[in-house]
Amino acid sequence: MKKNKTTDVDFTKVKPYNQDEEKTAQLARMFNTISDKYDKFNDIMSWGMARVWRKQSLLSLKQYKPLQILDIAAGTADMCIKAYQYLKPEHVTGVDISDRMLEMGRVKIAQANLSEIIDLQVQDCSTLTFADETFDAATIAFGIRNFEKLNESLQQIHRVLKPNGHLLILEMNEPQKGLLLKGYQLYTRVFVRMTAKYLSSDKVAYDYLTASMHAFPNGERLINILTENGFKLNIHRKFTFGVCSMYLVQKVKS
């Protein structure tokens, strides 16, 4: 596998609370704090389009008929449940660093009668415990920008995917330029911040979520990082005026 040569990935410096503590530890604490309001906030951040984007992105995997799916940064299990509904795999495994988010996810899974098909585990993507070549596909919806160790995490995903397995990434990003960019920045700075204050006392957490979206590499920059970590691009698609991007990449030999 090629060693990553990208030197301008500074998004890891964007942390919720302070610069001294590891980002992963801060994020686990942050998501535990806002777990009961995160789904509502995600709807606000995505203009209510997150459900549509999940469906459209997951359908891009349908032709490959994945039987074993790993959902990373699973949160409250929305992507896990939708993966089963649209793809009908044998099993879905979700991992996340926030145990409280996963607790909420287990409730949703039980309500959907999918507890025998979907299981959730507390794991950090940079240190996955699964055996080599376990999964046919992996998904990450609105979570990759939170990785503290992006290269290590991608290498772990590469390791646990079967030969020619697929990685599907769905992530928010700012429009690149023009009036749409200015309008979206105004939306996040004013409306989203005001709504965040209403939803939770942890305003810092929501400031982090918007700041991390601004800092995280997207488009060609992210595609280059994925390529350097052993993946080839199949599809890159933008949704809703570039507010969200989908990347479908495939594992190539190490």
Q: Would you state the pLDDT for residue 13?
A: 74
Q: Would you state the pLDDT for residue 208?
A: 78
User: Which tokens is 39 given?
Assistant: 């789904």
The position carrying tokens 């009036």 is 179
Q: Would you state the pLDDT for residue 1?
A: 47
Q: Would you state the pLDDT for residue 77?
A: 97
User: Which tokens is 141 given?
Assistant: 């919806």
The position carrying tokens 């810092």 is 204
The position carrying tokens 């280059």 is 224
Instruction: Calculate ∠ Cα 90-93-97, nearest 5°.
Output: 175
Contact 116, 89 (CB under 8 A): no
In angstroms, rounded to a whole number, what is the distance separating the alpha carbons of residues 50 and 55? Answer: 9
In angstroms, rounded to a whole number, what is the distance separating the alpha carbons of residues 243 and 239? Answer: 6
Run means of pLDDT, 10 residues per run, the chain, 254 residues: 44 76 86 78 73 95 98 96 98 97 97 98 98 98 92 98 98 69 62 61 70 81 96 94 91 83
Contact 37, 199 (CB under 8 A): yes
Domains and CATH numbers, the chain: 11-251 (3.40.50.150)
pTM for this predicted structure: 0.86
Contact 163, 135 (CB under 8 A): no
Q: Would you state the pLDDT for residue 104?
A: 95
Q: Would you state the pLDDT for residue 233?
A: 98
